[in-house]
Amino acid sequence: QSFPHKRRCAFQVPPEKLRYRTSGNVTGSVQLCDNTQCCVGYYQIIDDRPVVDALACDIVEKYCPDATCNAQMRFGGHLIACVCNTDFCNSNINWNPEFEEPQPTYSYFVDDIMKATAITVALLVLCFLLIIAAKWRCLLKKKKVNPPSHDDYGVSRLCSCQTTKTSEIDIADIDRQQIVGHGYFANVWKGKYKGSIVAVKDFNDGWKHTFTAEKEVYELPLMNHAGIVHYLGSGSKPGGGGGLIVLQFAECGTLHSYLCKHTTNWMLTLKLCQSLSQGLSYLHSDLHEHDLHKPSVAHGDFSSSNVLVRADGTCVLCDFGCSTILRCCSGHRSWRSHTTNMEGHLRLGTLRYMPPEILEGSVNLSSSRCLMQGDIYALGLLLWEILMRCSDLFDGGVAPQHLLPYESELGAHATRDSLIQYVCHLEERPSIPKHWELLPQGSVLQELLTDCWDCDADARLTAPSVVNRLGSLQPCYSS
């Protein structure tokens, strides 16, 4: 986007907020904005007066209709922010001590969500048309070619828009025993199916689209992998509401509940971390094997509640209701969109695990790359959760109790505003114990975490490189 003239904003940021330098050329206390007409100001409230915390061009173009900088956002009572659209307008904030409303974060977000929803709808329609067209082509081909031959259409290749096969299960064959989990969309039962102990995910009525979206991921070709929960099939419920997904039963429950109950030694810690990152790496991979194609998938809601632990101490990924499939349909690249919730909003994952760029709403959610980078940020938080329960990494072998990321700093119910302030503005991350620097493999771990949760999404590691780094760690721990 080009602007008639470049916006000039007052510039004053503490050294640790380097990323504001990237939003334009800085000369002394003036910044010439590269991509925006909006200046932003952050002020701390000290003794009831606003004191400059950071002034700069906004990092991304936002809606900034005001000529003067009116306090709009308030984070945790101490920090206020404003955006405005005239030169140097951010150097003074209009602030009324009575001001209370933290709405603009919400309105920016809603604005972004509305844009993203419009894009999503357009993509959905496009994808739908492409799928119909491709299916017709496949059907016509099948009719023409009998028996299948190596023809011009694809050398008896699986049509890349299709899943391997649908594994329809007769729900009468499932013997449910007890409920083991209540999710937002489904209740999960422990049960028996054809002699095996299984988990039965029973989607509540009204969530058929979430059921379909998740089933679609499980039924992609080549989805069988040790790091992804094994899918046995799915069934329809009488009346057409919801549906059932039958999965391998993970004996130790979610990673979150496992870490609440257990500390681990170094060997087990490494096993959890490696299997976790191998699972994500596989999910992200785009694979062609024989005639099959597994497209890349971004998880979209990667958290310790969406990872299960098996009896052998390995992690498996589950809950793909928020996932995005990046795939090729008849030569066209297309993305399956996020599922939407009841209000028609995008389902964007768990707040606490959202990367800064998604919290702030500053990225294009239809970009698969950005969704994968979001998964890596969350992977960093998950690795931190696992490492913080490793008794070999703490004095006297006593690891602290399990805490969710940012739980000690922002509490058990961190709000979007508090996360935006802490994660995006203050650029804070879960604290890594200082003494790890002195441990034999401590600095590698420290670097691994910081390279996963980097503020700059492009600077984050990829999942295969996380696997490699973990692979270079010694399996035996010596302090």
Would you count residue 433 as binding ligand ATP (CB under 6 A)? no
Residue in 319, 357, 360, 392 binding ligand ATP, rule: CB under 6 A:
319
Q: Which range binds ligand ATP by CB under 6 A, 47-55, 145-153, 178-186, 271-279?
A: 178-186
Would you count residue 181 as binding ligand ATP (CB under 6 A)? yes
Q: Which range binds ligand ATP by CB under 6 A, 102-110, 181-189, 399-407, 452-460?
A: 181-189
**Cβ–Cβ contacts within 10 Å for residue 193, how many?**
22
Query: Smallest distance, Å, CB 195 to ligand ATP?
Result: 17
Q: Is 269 exposed, middle or buried (0-12, 13-18, 19+ CB in 10 A)?
A: buried
Would you count residue 228 as binding ligand ATP (CB under 6 A)? no
Q: Kindly identify the residues of this chain, within the stretch 250-269, that bind ligand ATP according to CB under 6 A.
A: 250, 253-254
Which residues are within 8 A (CB) of 435 and not within 5 positions of it... i.e. 6 or more apart? 395, 442
Q: Let me know: does 134 contact 330? Beta carbons within 8 Å.
A: yes
Query: Smallest distance, Å, CB 333 to ligand ATP?
Result: 28
How many Å from the N-terminal Cα to the C-terminal Cα in the chain?
A: 55
**Cβ–Cβ contacts within 10 Å for residue 84, how many?**
27
Q: Which range binds ligand ATP by CB under 6 A, 16-24, 35-43, 184-192, 417-425?
A: 184-192
Degrees to nearest 5, angle at CA 408 with 105 and 58? 30
- Identify which of 273, 264, 193, 269 has the alpha carbon closest to the alpha carbon of residue 233: 193
Would you count residue 188 as binding ligand ATP (CB under 6 A)? yes
- Identify which of 316, 317, 337 has the alpha carbon closest to the alpha carbon of residue 325: 337
Q: Which range binds ligand ATP by CB under 6 A, 11-19, 245-253, 335-343, 406-414?
A: 245-253
Q: Where are the beta strands (DSSP E) in 125-265?
A: 174-182, 186-193, 196-203, 231-235, 243-248
d(CA 335, CA 320): 15
- Comparing CB distances to ligand ATP, the nearer of 318 and 419 is 318
Q: Let me know: does 92 contact 434? Beta carbons within 8 Å.
A: no
Binding mask 2-41 for ligand ATP (x = CB under 6 A): ----------------------------------------
Give the DSSP H or E segment for 142.
helix 103-144
Query: Smallest distance, Å, CB 267 to ligand ATP?
Result: 24
- Identify which of 110, 166, 134, 124 has the alpha carbon closest to the alpha carbon of residue 324: 124
**Cβ–Cβ contacts within 10 Å for residue 472, how many?**
9
Would you count residue 305 as binding ligand ATP (CB under 6 A)? yes
- Identify which of 334, 297, 335 has the alpha carbon closest to the alpha carbon of residue 317: 297
Query: Smallest distance, Å, CB 211 to ligand ATP?
Result: 10
Query: Smallest distance, Å, CB 385 to ligand ATP?
Result: 15
Would you count residue 340 as binding ligand ATP (CB under 6 A)? no
d(CA 128, CA 108): 29
Q: Which range binds ligand ATP by CB under 6 A, 29-37, 121-129, 266-274, 300-308?
A: 300-308
Paired with 204 in beta bridges are none
Query: Smallest distance, Å, CB 413 to ligand ATP?
Result: 15
Residue in 11, 20, 43, 185 binding ligand ATP, rule: CB under 6 A:
185
Would you count residue 249 as binding ligand ATP (CB under 6 A)? yes
- Identify which of 113, 101, 112, 107 has the alpha carbon closest to the alpha carbon of residue 75: 101
Q: Which range binds ligand ATP by CB under 6 A, 26-34, 67-75, 241-249, 405-413?
A: 241-249
Residue in 228, 318, 346, 348 binding ligand ATP, rule: CB under 6 A:
318
Would you count residue 186 as binding ligand ATP (CB under 6 A)? yes
Residue in 180, 222, 226, 473 binding ligand ATP, rule: CB under 6 A:
180
Query: Smallest distance, Å, CB 250 to ligand ATP?
Result: 4
- Comparing CB distances to ligand ATP, the nearer of 181 and 464 is 181
Query: Smallest distance, Å, CB 308 to ligand ATP?
Result: 5
Would you count residue 199 as binding ligand ATP (CB under 6 A)? yes
3-state secondary structure 387-451: HCCEHHHCHHHCCCCCCCCCHHHHCCCCCHHHHHHHHHHCCCCCCCCHHHHHCCCHHHHHHHHHH
Query: Smallest distance, Å, CB 386 to ligand ATP?
Result: 17
Would you count residue 177 as binding ligand ATP (CB under 6 A)? no
Amino acid letter, 335: W
Would you count residue 83 as binding ligand ATP (CB under 6 A)? no
Helices (H), 240-343: 255-261, 266-284
Would you count residue 241 as binding ligand ATP (CB under 6 A)? no
Query: Smallest distance, Å, CB 235 to ligand ATP?
Result: 16
d(CA 324, CA 320): 8
Chain residues binding ligand ATP by CB under 6 A are 180-181, 183-186, 188, 199, 201, 229, 247-250, 253-254, 305-306, 308, 318-319, 321
